[in-house]
Chain A
Amino acid sequence: MKRLLPWLIRLAPLLLVAVCAILLVFLLQQGLGSLSPTLLFGNVPPLQAILGKAPVWEGLWPACAGTFCLVLLTQALALLPGLGCGIYLAEYASPKKAATISLAMDILAGTPSIVMGLFGFTLIVCLRQSFLPNANTSLLLSAACLSLLVLPVIVSSCCEALRALPRDLRITALALGLKKRTVVTRILLPQASQGLAAGLILALARSAEDTAVIMLTGAVANAGLPAGLWDKFEALPFAIYYTAGEYQNAQDLTRGFGAALLLLLLSILLVLIAHVLERRYLRQRQGTHAAGCSR
């Protein structure tokens, strides 16, 4: 066993890469053929579809736009509470308080997404029966439930990124006469930006792919472009799920694979944007030469 262990350890990353590669090749093989403007816009001219001047019934453009809005709204809702909680945990909380908050975060992180979806659904039912009779499942409800789902990811990555910083950095900054608040906001947080960005990207990917929450809280098969916070919307993961369950012919199935490929591309695009922004920020902040070698 002892001899085998080093080989198994070497095998593990290979296995991971291989599984990823197989998945990607399979997806490309099945979905690449369907990647065309028609997949996105159907028979509607792309510009008119993008500007929202003509409704798209056959294409995935509304689902793309819906996922994009959902992801941004989720981040907007989860970012401040997530960072705030992470900072409090790492820098201000006493060990006892930190243990209590960490336990709450662990419970939240362990909640299955379908439970979070049911929570959102129950919430809207309660609201309808009490003081908001017109409330309905919507983009905002989906984003709120998703933000609860990704909150632990942001909190723990923020907390870990701050805790991983050398203690000397805090002591040096405090010795210069900086107030604790200034040390956290101007020295520690920017320094932990790589860890923070990693957490945000994880949260972003999680909110882009989750289906269970949105199918109970506002995603539908045909809603067109997202009209507002209080309206139902289309989303790529839901389109994939729906196609996988309801497809009538081979063309429908190929469209489903095309949607999966689009979701992958959208996620890659969002991650790349986050990465470029982060690199630019680091170069600006740390001076030349540092950004290049910091990774």
Chain B
Amino acid sequence: MQPAVLVENFSLSLNRVRILHAVNFSAAQQGISVLVGRSGSGKTTLLRSLNRLNETIAQTETQGRIRLDLGVGLEDIYPGEQTPRPVSEIRRLVGMVFQSPNVLPLSIAENIALPLRLVRKLPSREINERLQTCLKQVGLWEETEHRLESSAETLSGGQKQRLCLARALALEPALLLLDEPTASLDVHAAASIEEHLKELATHYPIVLVSHNPRQACRLATQLTVMEDGKIVETFREHLPNASEITEMLSERMTELV
């Protein structure tokens, strides 16, 4: 089956410092591809390469190819032989949820409605329908139904992160990127997000960065280990357990030392 993400010999420099070195990576159409590695191993940079978000942070130079299936088969997202889609369209089609739940400083409803209005230019009736659907999809509808006009800042950490997930889903992405989405949440909120991610993985290809070996084991259908801007190992079958991942990461660290 054709992958949803195909990264081939991709290297990336930020402000002339090489961060990713000839990375080869792919993610399936369904399931959760988890990237693990120590801090500074390049996981987040690789994730942000998939929606060209690195370009918003620093001066970026790239080599190699990244192709994504954004609905019409694999297509290049960086300029090469063909001119890619406008970068704003790529980002709209690649939903992203960040480590800290960064809601927009607006009401709960507007957090979902504003991007729909500005990016998709949908009529308000459709926006309202989609708002409800997406909040239900992440289990937030019942909690927020009566206070949609309240500031999103009044939500708890877990609720905010689910709102961010709903906001990404509302834009009808072809791929979901999650950068340690439970890192700043308590155990219960994290478990709730994980449940929703498992459910979503049956409809969307998901690439998830995780610091937590146990979480990686719980969620992964594919596990990729990164170190020093390179992919060192990818497991598609017979995934390692949490202690094996921990051991693997510390071994690599010892080798480096």
Using a CB–CB cutoff of 8 Å, the interface residues on chain A facing chain B are 167-179, 182, 186-187, 191, 285-290
> Contact mask B95-114 → A, CB, 8 Å, 1/0?
01010101011111010001
Measured CB to CB, the closest approach of chain A to B179, in angstroms, equals 10
Cα A175 to Cα B167 in complex, Å, equals 11
Whether, in the assembled complex, B171 has its beta carbon less than 8 Å from a beta carbon of chain A, the answer is yes
Q: Is B92 an interface residue (CB 8 A)?
A: yes
Q: Contact at A175–B108, with CB atoms within 8 Å?
A: no
Instruction: Give the contacting residue for B106; candidates A171, A176, A285; CB below 8 A.
Output: A285
Cα–Cα distance between A186 and B121 once the two chains are bound (Å): 14
What residues of chain B lie closer than 8 Å to A167, measured between beta carbons?
A: 57
CB-CB under 8 A from A169, the residues of chain B are: 102, 104-105
* A177 and B88 in contact, given A169-B104, A287-B108 (Cβ under 8 angstroms): yes
Q: Is the CB of B149 within 8 A of A288?
A: yes
* Cβ 8 A contact of A289, one of B98, B106, B115, B151: B151
Taking the nearest CB of chain B, how far is it from the CB of A194, in angstroms? 11
Q: Does B53 contact A (CB under 8 A)?
A: yes
| A287–chain B nearest beta-carbon distance, Å | 3
Q: Which residues of chain B from 33 to 66 have any CB-CB distance to chain A below 8 Å in the complex?
A: 51, 53, 56-57
Which one, A174, A179, A191, contacts B105 given CB within 8 A?
Answer: A191
Q: Which of A170, A172, A285, A290 has the most CB of B within 10 A?
A: A172
Q: Contact between A168 and B149 (Cβ–Cβ < 8 Å)?
A: no
Bound-state CA distance A236–B4 (Å) is 70
Chain A's closest residue to B110 (CB) is A287
- CA separation between A182 and B119, bound complex, in Å? 9
Question: A28 vs B213: C-alpha distance in the bound complex, in angstroms?
Answer: 71
A288 to B90, CA, bound (A): 33
Residue in B91, B106, B118, B149 whose CB lies within 8 Å of A175: B91
Tell me the B residues contacting A by CB distance below 8 Å.
Answer: 51, 53, 56-57, 88-93, 96, 98, 100, 102, 104-108, 110, 114-115, 118-119, 149-154, 167-168, 171
- Cross-interface CB contact of A174 among B56, B110, B114, B154, cutoff 8 Å: B56
* Contacting pair B171 A170 (CB below 8 A): no
Q: Are B56 and A170 in contact (CB under 8 A)?
A: yes
With A and B bound together, what is the CA distance between A286 and B168 in angstroms? Answer: 20
Contact partners of B53 in chain A: CB under 8 A: 171, 174-175
Contact of B150 with A168 in the complex, beta carbons under 8 Å: no
The verdict on A177 contacting B110 (CB below 8 Å), with A187-B104, A290-B105 known, is: no
Q: Which residues of B contact A186 (CB under 8 A)?
A: 114, 118
> Chain A residue with minimal CB distance to B108?
A287
Q: Which of B93, B102, B106, B110 contacts A168 (CB 8 A)?
A: B102
A171 vs B58: C-alpha distance in the bound complex, in angstroms? 12
Q: Which residues of A contact B96 (CB under 8 A)?
A: 175
Q: Which chain A residues border B149 with CB–CB below 8 Å?
A: 287-288
A-B pairs with beta carbons under 8 Å apart, 25 shown: A168-B100, A169-B102, A171-B57, A171-B98, A172-B104, A174-B53, A175-B53, A175-B98, A176-B167, A176-B168, A177-B115, A177-B171, A178-B88, A178-B118, A178-B119, A285-B106, A286-B105, A286-B106, A286-B107, A287-B107, A287-B152, A289-B153, A289-B154, A290-B105, A290-B153
Chain B minimum-CB-distance residue to A176: B115
Please give, as numbers and ranges, the residues of chain B lying within 8 Å of A178 by CB-CB distance. 88, 115, 118-119
- Name the residue on B nearest A291 (C-beta): B151
CA gap between A179 and B86 in the complex, in Å: 10
Smallest Cβ distance from A289 to chain B, in angstroms? 5
10 shortest A-B CB distances, which residue pairs? A177-B92, A287-B107, A290-B151, A287-B151, A177-B91, A176-B115, A175-B96, A172-B102, A177-B119, A168-B102
Chain B's closest residue to A167 (CB) is: B57
A290 CB contacts on chain B under 8 angstroms? 105, 151, 153-154
CA distance A191 to B151 in the complex (A): 13
Does the CB pair A172–B98 fall under 8 Å?
yes
**A residues less than 8 Å from B104 (CB atoms):** 169, 172-173, 187
Chain A residues contacting B151 (CB-CB under 8 Å) are 286-290
Closest to A166 in B: B102
Do residues A174 and B108 form an inter-chain contact, with CB atoms below 8 A?
A: no
A163 to B: closest C-beta gap in Å? 15
The answer for the CA separation of A287 and B119 in the assembled complex, in Å, is 21
Nearest residue in A to B96 (C-beta to C-beta)?
Answer: A175
Residue in B closest to A187 when the chains form the complex, CB atoms: B104
